[in-house]
Structure 1
Amino acid sequence: MNAPETYYTELARTQLDRARRLQQCYDRLAIVRLLFVVGFVGLLIFSWSTGFWAGALTTLTGTVLLAFGVRYHQRIGQAAAGARVQGQLAEAEITGLAHQFSQWPDGREYASPDHPYAGDLDIFGPHSLFQYLNRTVTAIGSHRLAEQLSIPAPHPVSETRRAAGRELATRPDWCMEFRTRGNELADDPAYARRLLEWANRPAVVTGAYARAMRFAAPALSAIGIWFSFTQQPWQLGLLFFIPAFLLLRRYSEAAATEHAYTAQAGRILQGYQRLFQHMEAEASELPTASAAIGRLSFYVSQLDVRYNPFVFMLEITGLWSIQWLYRLDSWRTAHRDDLPRWLEALAETDARVSWATLRFNQPTWTEPELTDEKVLQATGLAHPLLPPTGRVTNDVSMSTDGHIDLVTGSNMAGKSTWLRTVGINIVLARAGGPVCALRLRTAALQVWTSMRTHDDLSESTSSFYAELKRLKAIIEAVSDSEQQVFFLLDEILKGTNSRDRHTGSRALIRQLIRERGAGIIATHDLELAALENEPGSRVENYAMEVQTKNGELVFDYKLHRGVSRSFNATALMARMGIDIDPEDIKLTHD
């Protein structure tokens, strides 16, 4: 059992056992609490029957004890729930170490068919890189992680992320506690945006009259109530409520607009508060975030009360909505500039926990070396989404200044997987993560792919035309001197006849080289291998072979220098029951 598995197994055992013991304590205390309430009611009846002071003392003492007991009981329940969640998170990580990671969100909402590489490299969606490493608990953290995988970072930014992720990887307990606190947050992806929009809105309760009425309304209401019950005609007492009523009418629309930004946000803000409390021990720039977010959560929850049908008396006697709108205005004025910084820190920390967890779970992965040299060099490079027991590693070493590796091979030999292996590890390196390799040294490469092209019925587009559009985008990207493109092309121009495919592929390769583009091209077209022998060639041939042993096809998925000499399509078809003339097979191989 490796170190991560040992850690998670022990954590799951201890936390689930702790949750069981705390739950038993909680259940016993629930019975004690019920008995206390019954006894307290009986004692109240008896004490008040004996005299005022005995009744008052019993009421005060019992109420304090009951309040303390309820809070203690709730803390026990919360602790039991937290321990249970952390134990379940540890169990999920054990499952993840066995390469079963479908239990985490896959980020399919971030997928875009026009992205340079996300679709072909399985960055988002089921069984994707995002799903493999995603441990975020907030919507803004999930979005930040998706951005990091979608937008290659400059080397300095990537190195900063890498340093922070490495440091946090040494504290798995901190990461697990962060995830436990945010486990049931389930915030809306648009909530943070609405919150920032709200923070930049102008104050609602303005003017000296409105501010003065915050204090005057309760006094006027008290006078009105006294007058109505003690004086004649009692109806005159209602006049004291008119100023509050008019002020409520004046602010009713503004209150509704303000409430649209904050409605039902108290629970989410409480979740943010718990996360900020955990972060404050590590981040000196967040000394007041949790307290301020806690106040905001409370103010928002009190404003939510305005929709309670029984709150009318609080509105008319104390201007309930206006009181809390004023407090929200004050909060906004005090923290308008702080809120974006706090949410930025929360998003970064949330995404960083995912990278730290990846590093902790995969101690054999390595940190890439980012260089300004135009090179891509890797040893023991493997695909992270393949099970560790089935991974086959290969090496790569090439200039990224107008050089192309041409990989030939038969069907199912592993060419497409090799392209994805190279691409997905470059994405990890640029995002600030570790890579599934013994060593990786890379320039600041912008990956572009053309591997899965589909027809589009909505645009009446064939798969061949869709591929041409994709290749056009890659050519334009290669021509852009501001980025260093590394392309991964699989069976280019496969939608046309063999002669057109060969002619077009050869012309495309030469153009990409002239534009100083670099990349790897996988193909069945063996005639393209002749490009390596042209004067001044920047093409190198590699092959992935298939062997036949005892009538069975054997795949080693290893990359070899040279041109493929194996053929397996006819053998596969024969195994499927298609009668193939041996002479045809001989002619094909010749």
Structure 2
Amino acid sequence: MSTYGAVASRSRPGVKKGFMPFASAVRLLRALFDIPAREPADYPFVESDQARLQQLCHEPGRHAVDDATWSDLMLGQYHAVLSQEVSIFGQQALYQRLREGAGADAGRSLRSLVDAPAQIDAQHLACKPLRHADQEIATLLFAPEPTSLPIWAGKTWCVPFLLLGSMAAAILWSPLAWLGTGALLFFLMSNQVRYGQQVEQWQRTMLALQMLLRVASETSHRDAAEAARVNRALTRAPASLLVPGLRSYQDWFALTNVNHYFHCTQVVQAHLPLLRATMLRIADWEADIALARHLRATPRFCWAERASHTALTLRGMVHPLLPAAQALSLELAGKGAFISGQNGIGKSTLLRTAGLNLIAARAFGFCYAETARVPDLPIYCSMQNDDSLLRGESLYIAELRRASELLAAADGPHPGICIIDEIFRGTNHLESVSAAASVLDVLAQRSLVLVSSHNLVLASLLQHRLDPLCVSREDGALTLSPGVLAHTNGIRLLAERGFGPAVQSNAGKVFDWLNGYLAHPADSAGVLG
């Protein structure tokens, strides 16, 4: 639950059958004159906007997926798939769940909704106005900046009369009255310049907030009437729209737009608890609808069951971002896994598939598999370490930094599942094996570890910590079975990629010489334990 969970009722609201009178009148007029409703633009929000709710409502001490894991598991791309035809509110709720998980409530509200397609369609349609919002408002509601009212706020209605009076006085009595006219014009123009940009930005923010309140007012929630009342308080009087150009004259000669800006800031401040609760409720509601629509279009998924912290079962799992993904099964009981396989066989894809399914189970309560029993543990990945010119890091230094982060997490308050691909590839073979064996030996004592490597000697060195599993292809299908890769293909790929027989022959000679020393050492099983 978020920091402001105490003020929010996160139950999914239903759609009210009797809508507000004004909204009903608008719909009636559109139907009579065959005026189509304006389609939402689905504004392309950047990740920093999508992340604001999670950042502002994050509870200290609660684990959140770190940036390296987010990137390694391609969770940004996954979030984009889930967010199709979803407003910024639903996008922020989905992002928050992916980053922090949903705890024991994961998937609870989805189970009944996903089996009701008519209800999904109706609620998706009810949320459609939210997609007109082109501003995120979590910052406004959860980190508001205090606004100080100028002394003249709300009192400029008389300025047009004073302006006319000063002009009349200058014409009828004394030219000195033009000084008063100039002073009034300076007051009007200087304040338009001073506040104009803020007002324009605020108008876009109010559009988003009013879309939220409009949808909230049309639900059956107990706060619907109050949401409608606040929405009306934020709306400028529509009478000025009846006369062309009247609103512009009001803005320039009475600062009506600036006064409305200050009025709205006070309304928002006065109703922050309601607005926060409404946003959390509607955002979660829309997120549930998006997930239900996603699952309706997903050929393979199951509800995840909880397992102990040292057990994991994912039978027939697939990756949702791969359209023709082959299903694989992974089962662990008491120990992690050392995964081997030929080049290009799909070891990295397997790790990403397992990682994303574990994230989906924590966030949403389901997995892309036939059956799933998974622990409710944080996920940490080390898969795409690269050298950095800006940070002055070589590849190996970057790998060491990430490995130290995983060890620190294992010793911290949130130990979890560590997914590591090609550990320590940035240094020479001997030191790579030595460092990897030592780090993994310590890490596997404190966390559940899934690691892949072409350094097959690690399998025997770590067999007391990790079960060896091999990815192979049998009759065109991928399988994951106990054991270590027996037949490598790195040298064969030299010929397939056009390096020529001489290069392949010499590489084979070196391989044969090294093979007896490193690939199958007779006494390595007792080196570490």
Task: Please give the TM-score of this superposition, normalised by the length of structure 2.
Answer: 0.73
Task: Give the direction of change, closer, same or farther, for the CA distance of 1:264–1:517 in structure 2 (3 Å limit).
Answer: closer
Pairs aligned (count):
471
Task: Give the direction of change, closer, same or farther, for the CA distance of 1:291–1:259 in structure 2 (3 Å limit).
Answer: farther
Contact between 2:188 and 2:252, CA under 8 Å: does it hold in 1? no
Report the counterpart of residue 355 of structure 1 in structure 2: 291
Task: Give the direction of change, closer, same or farther, for the CA distance of 1:408–1:310 in structure 2 (3 Å limit).
Answer: closer
User: C-alpha separation between the residues in 2 aligned to 1:203 and 1:374?
Assistant: 59
Query: What are the residue-to-residue correspondences of 1:401-550 with 2, within 5 Å?
Result: 403-480=335-412, 482-514=413-445, 516-531=446-461, 537-546=464-473
Higher helix fraction (1 or 2)? 1
Report the counterpart of residue 567 of structure 1 in structure 2: 488
Query: What are the residue-to-residue correspondences of 1:196-235 with 2, within 5 Å?
Result: 200-204=146-150, 224=165, 234-235=172-173
CA shift, 1:376, in A, is 1.8
User: C-alpha separation between the residues in 1 aligned to 2:172 and 2:363?
Assistant: 74
Residue 123, structure 1, aligned to residue 75, structure 2: yes
**Residue of structure 2 aligned with 1:79, choices 29, 36, 42:** 36
Query: What are the residue-to-residue correspondences of 1:52-451 with 2, within 5 Å?
Result: 72=29, 76=33, 78-79=35-36, 81-82=38-39, 107=47, 115-124=67-76, 128-135=77-84, 137-153=86-102, 155-159=103-107, 162=110, 166=114, 171-178=119-126, 180-183=128-131, 185=132, 187-189=134-136, 191-194=137-140, 200-204=146-150, 224=165, 234-235=172-173, 260-266=197-203, 269-270=206-207, 272-279=209-216, 280-298=218-236, 311=249, 320=256, 324=260, 327-328=263-264, 331-332=267-268, 334-362=270-298, 364-371=300-307, 373-387=309-323, 389-399=324-334, 403-451=335-383
User: C-alpha separation between the residues in 2 aligned to 1:323 and 1:343?
Assistant: 26
Q: Which has the larger radius of gyration?
A: 1
CA shift, 1:544, in A, is 1.3
Aligned residue for 2:236, secondary structure, equals helix
Task: Give the direction of change, closer, same or farther, for the CA distance of 1:139–1:159 in structure 2 (3 Å limit).
Answer: closer
Aligned residue for 1:500, secondary structure, equals helix
Letter in 2 for 1:364: R
Task: Give the direction of change, closer, same or farther, for the CA distance of 1:74–1:269 in structure 2 (3 Å limit).
Answer: farther
User: C-alpha separation between the residues in 2 aligned to 1:219 and 1:254?
Assistant: 18
CA shift, 1:381, in A, is 1.7
Q: Give the unaligned 5+ runs of structure 2.
A: 1-24, 52-63, 517-529
User: C-alpha separation between the residues in 1 aligned to 2:115 and 2:183?
Assistant: 59
Task: Give the direction of change, closer, same or farther, for the CA distance of 1:310–1:178 in structure 2 (3 Å limit).
Answer: closer
Contact between 2:301 and 2:368, CA under 8 Å: does it hold in 1? yes
Aligned residue for 2:479, secondary structure, equals coil
Letter in 1 for 2:80: Q
User: Residues 83-125 of structure 1, C-alpha deviation per residue, up to 9 Å, x if partnerless?
Assistant: xx79xx9xxxxxxxxxxxxx9878598799962411111111x
CA shift, 1:264, in A, is 5.0
User: C-alpha separation between the residues in 2 aligned to 1:149 and 1:248?
Assistant: 53
Letter in 2 for 1:496: T
Report the counterpart of residue 524 of structure 2 in structure 1: none
Task: Give the direction of change, closer, same or farther, for the CA distance of 1:284–1:215 in structure 2 (3 Å limit).
Answer: same
CA shift, 1:503, in A, is 1.4
CA shift, 1:174, in A, is 2.6
Contact between 1:529 and 1:563, CA under 8 Å: does it hold in 2? yes
User: C-alpha separation between the residues in 1 aligned to 2:113 and 2:400?
Assistant: 40
CA shift, 1:300, in A, is 11
User: C-alpha separation between the residues in 2 aligned to 1:513 and 1:123?
Assistant: 25
Contact between 1:369 and 1:440, CA under 8 Å: does it hold in 2? yes
Contact between 1:376 and 1:442, CA under 8 Å: does it hold in 2? yes
Contact between 1:543 and 1:560, CA under 8 Å: does it hold in 2? yes
Aligned residue for 2:390, secondary structure, equals helix
Letter in 2 for 1:273: Q
Letter in 2 for 1:529: A
Larger RCO (CA under 8 A, 6+ residues apart) = 2
Task: Give the direction of change, closer, same or farther, for the CA distance of 1:252–1:202 in structure 2 (3 Å limit).
Answer: farther
User: C-alpha separation between the residues in 1 aligned to 2:163 and 2:332?
Assistant: 83
Give aligned-pair identity as a percent: 21
CA shift, 1:561, in A, is 0.7
Aligned residue for 1:458, secondary structure, equals coil
Contact between 1:262 and 1:300, CA under 8 Å: does it hold in 2? no
Letter in 1 for 2:93: R
User: C-alpha separation between the residues in 1 aligned to 2:210 and 2:468?
Assistant: 57
CA shift, 1:171, in A, is 2.3
CA shift, 1:570, in A, is 1.9
Report the counterpart of residue 56 of structure 2 in structure 1: none
